[in-house]
Structure formats: C-alpha cells, structure tokens
Structure 1
Amino acid sequence: MTLPEGNDVPQWIHLLPAGDFRGTDGRGPYTVPDAEKLILHTMQGQKRLVLDENHATDLAAVKGGSAPAVGWIVELQARQDGIWGRVDWNRRGNALMQDKAYRGVSPAFAVDASGKAVTRLVRASLTNLPNLTLTELHTQETGMNPSDIARRLGLPENTPQADLEAALSRAGQALQLHTQVVGLAGLSGEQTVEAIVTGLKAKTSAVQTHAQQVTALEAQVKTLQEQASRTAAEAALKTAADGGAVITEDMKAELITLHMQNPASAEKIISGLPKLGTSVERHTQRKTSASDDDTKVAGLLGIKVEDMKKMRGDV
C-alpha cells in the first residue's frame, strides 16, 4: 500500500485492501473472507508484528543477515477499505518516515489451502515496490524465495535446499497423479479433491452395476441354453421311440442331462439305440396241404405230379 502523504509520521498504515485484490505483477486474486477472524488469528499469542524494510526478516535473516525492525504493528483494525495497523515506530522508523525514504507498505500474509483466502497477517515491510497481492511477500518480484516455497509446501521456513528440492519433486509427482486421477474419474480441467472422489465413486458404482447386469445376463443365457438343450433332447428321444427304440425313464433323464453338456455325444447314443421293429415273425409249425405233399413226392421219384396221380389211379 502507498503510505499517506504529508510530513507527519503516520500512526496507522493500510495493510490489506477489502474484497478481492490482485498484485500489480499479476498474482492473485486474494480475498479476506472474515476480517475480524483474520485479526483474531493474527494477534492471538502475540502482542505485535514486526515492520521491517524490504522484507529483510524473510530474505536476509534466514541467511544470517541483518533484519532490524523499524517499528511494530501493535493493533489491527477492520475498516471499510480493508485492514489497517497501528504502528509503534522506533527511532529508525521515525527517521525513515520523516525523510520520506519509502513510498509504500508491503504486507506478508498466510493463505489457506486454496491459495486465495487470507487467514492471517505475518508481518509487513516498508518498500518502494509495493505490490499488495503477492501471496507471501508483497513487493514486486519475478520469483519466489526458498522460504516462500517452504511455506507453500507446508514446511518450516528454514527447510534446507535439498529437502525443498525433494519436496518439490514429490509435489510434481502428486500433480501428475492428480491429472491422471481426474481423467479416470471422467472429469477434466482443474478439480477439487471432493469432485474427484465423487467422480471415482460414480465410476466404481457404474462398474459394479455393469458387473451385476453381466452376471444376470449370463444366468439368463445359461437357463435358455438348458431349456433349448432339453427340448432338443426330448425331440430326439421321441423320434427314437417312435422308431421302435425302447427308452426307460431313467435312461431318458440321463440322456437329457448328457445332451445339455455334450449334445453331439447324446445325439450319437440316441441314434444308436436298438429298435424292435413293427412286424412280428411267427415261428410255429405250419400244416402242409396235399398238393404240397404230391409235389415233394413226385420230386423225389423224378416224375411229374400228373404221372404220379395216374399211377395212383387218381386220374
């Protein structure tokens, strides 16, 4: 924020704007959803926030450099245009203000997991490059320093470089996994964890329903196959029985069961069943007639039947 004009050292400085805001370097947007809650979280457990120069506490102190305070923010106030802080200036700060050494204020604040909602103020700095809406350090800059990266990854600000690089590698893998899972869930674009979980549950439910439908269809097909096989076996057995084959009830049941399992074998057995036939051959002795006897006798004598009858006096 730009410092008030005038020769007097300001007692209050503007730390955060109201509503949605974005930095001049394009970062954001950010918002303060609840100003009173932000003030409570900021001042809880501490009586004052450091006010330094150009974020020396974040950039120089972590490397062992000097980061003196120029004043202390001892009170926060929610106003119509945002969050204001009352400053208790020290001699260095008073001198800088009277000398008009800086033209603006850059807050450092924490955000929630969405990266948008401001949850608390961390500190503020005097700067000549005010930006307002940089996630952590709000001077204009083209990149993020290690402490910014560590905070974004949920790590301590003084996390060693090697650990930061390992965490960034894991974050990259997690991002790739996130993209793949979004696709598996049947979604696209940026999605929340809740949306992905809902999509995966819907997919799982659909797969389970499909599996149940397939099982039901398989059971129906099996029943139809058994019915068709039984009908075919019964028709083949009826044909065999009509042709004279003797088929007992036990044999019929076994052949029907076999036909359901192996139609070709059942058909072969049925076609090979022995048949009794429809005609009856009688094998009792038959009485021969007189003419038949004359023929046999004449044959034995080697004469004609007429000559034999003449000799017998029948003619």
Structure 2
Amino acid sequence: MAGCLPVWHHDAMNALLHFHTMLPDSETPPEWIHLLPAGVFRGADGRGPYRLENPDALIRHSMEIEHGKILLDENHITDHAAKHGGSAPAMAWIVELQSRADGIWGRADWTKAGDDVWEKKSYRGLSPAFATNTDGVVTRIARASLTNLPNLTLTHLHTQSENAGMNPDDIARLLGLPQGSTESDIRAALGRAGSALTLHSQVTELTGLPASTSTDALVTGLRAKQETVSTHAQQQIDGLKKQLGEVRERASQAWLETAGKRKVISEDLGKELLTLHSQNPDTAEMIVNGLVDVPKNVTMHSRGASKIQPTAGSGGVASDLSSAMDDALGLTEKK
C-alpha cells in the first residue's frame, strides 16, 4: 500500500512495523483504543503473518520499556523527527494496556492537541507500531499514531463501558454468564477464560498432547493416564502385601520352632498356632504358655513348625519320645 511501508527501528533484533486501523466516529476521543488483534493476523496489504502470544508478558515488557506511557502521535511524526529533526507533539499518552478476548487495548490520556485534532475530525484511523522477532511473534508495542491510511481491521471502544463492538449481553452469554451481567462480571469471566486457556496449554504440554487438543480429548487422555498410574500403583501395593505376608510367615515359623523346644505341641496344634501367630501373636503366645513344658531330661526341637522330634542324641526315633516322656512324668507302668 503506497505510503504505508514499515519503518525499521534501529534495533539489531527487532523490526518496528506500522499498521493502521479505523477509529470510531464519535464527538469525543475514545478512552480505549484497540491496538493489536488476538491470535494470528496480517495487514490488509498482506504483510505477516504475525502472532500475539503471552499478552501479559507483552504488556509488562512494553510498559516497562516506555516507562509506563506509550506515545500516540500523528502520522508517525516521531520516527521522521528522529531522522530529520522537528517537533513531534503527543496527541495522547497510552497509560494502560489490557489483554482482552480480541487482543490488546490501550487506555489513552488525550492531550489538548489531541482533543483539538479529534474535534476537527482530521484523522480516521490509528496505526500501532510494534516489534516482532524472526518468528513473527509480537515482542513489544512501541507507540501508535493517528493516520488516514488504515491497514489493520480492529474493533473499537467508544467509551470504557462499551465492549469491543459487541452487545454486553452477547458477550455474557458466550461466557456462560446470565443476561444483564455487569461489566465487572464480564471482565472477571474473561480473566478466568484466559487462565483456562493458559492451563489448557500447560496441561497439553505436560501430557505430550498437541496444543490443539480439545478439552474433551484432553480429559480422556488424563483419565487414561490416571488409570495407568493407578494400575501400576496397585501392582506395587499388591507386591508389598505379598512380601509382608512372606515376612510374617517366616517370623511365625521361627516363633513356632522356638516354642516347640520348650512346650509340647502336637502337629495339628502347631498348624493352628502358625496361622494364629501370623494374625495375633499375643494370643498365640498365651496359648503356648498354657501348654505342658517339655520334660527337662528330654531335648526337643521342631521342624517345619509342625513335627516334634528328638535330637540325634536323645535316644531314638519319634516312637521312643513318648516312652521317654512317660518315664519322665512317672507314667510308665512298673512291672
């Protein structure tokens, strides 16, 4: 478009581009002006594509670089004055930037010169100047100018209470709010929507899913991942339970072998005590303590927590044990 070539900023990293958009037809200058559209955009002359990413970071960086006041002049006179000298008065100062559903908006504090120009209806458009990196991502909003060569198609706010050229009730409905919601309610809902988009982006990155994944597909993916994690966790729990059971079984076996050396424990009773000890050691110990002691002149040990046999030096096989115990207890019938 003739007379609307980008002006290059003396910055080794970023090129400063000027685009243009129509201004509202009103008696007084608008408090809020639309500076950049959301998402991916091009100029009417085909330049681009450019992308608006991380609006909050862009706002912080732009306001920090410009010390909290972004210049609004006329016809990019500031750039010409920087090259050739001359006056470059401000028509307004953009003292606040906001991220909204349709892009970046700026609150303009108009000067007397700006009010006079607006009253004369000297300009019909606005040209925001911004810098991008090599990938086309907008990195800074540098300034804006009044112009008669509009290039970007943007919406506008005539006053602070109007909402991006849309009926507030329509915006509320799209956000799931009841009809008649206040501007504060709508702004809060827009903030939550922005947070939700950020969360969606972070979750898709963590799960390895594409950023374009729908919410339903993302929830399905998270559930599948949760089920996989739960199955693995249950397998670990089952393995630990099995190990614990084996430890308890070995402990009960060792206890029964020790008890069989001091108390007379039958094979059947030994099996019952083994099971009981794994569940209630105190009760098993109490039962064993009530059993008959092994005679002092008989040495005994248990094998496998079930059989009670004499040692190799105790005088014979299991059948001799009964006789030895009878003799020790005085139960042998004398001939």
Q: What interval of TM-score do these two structures reach, taking the shorter chain for normalisation? A: 0.3 to 0.5
Q: RCO (CA 8 Å, sep 6+): is it higher in 1 or 2?
A: 2
Larger strand percent: 2
Larger helix percent: 1
| Normalised TM-score (structure 1) | 0.39
Answer with 1 or 2: which has the greater Rg: 1
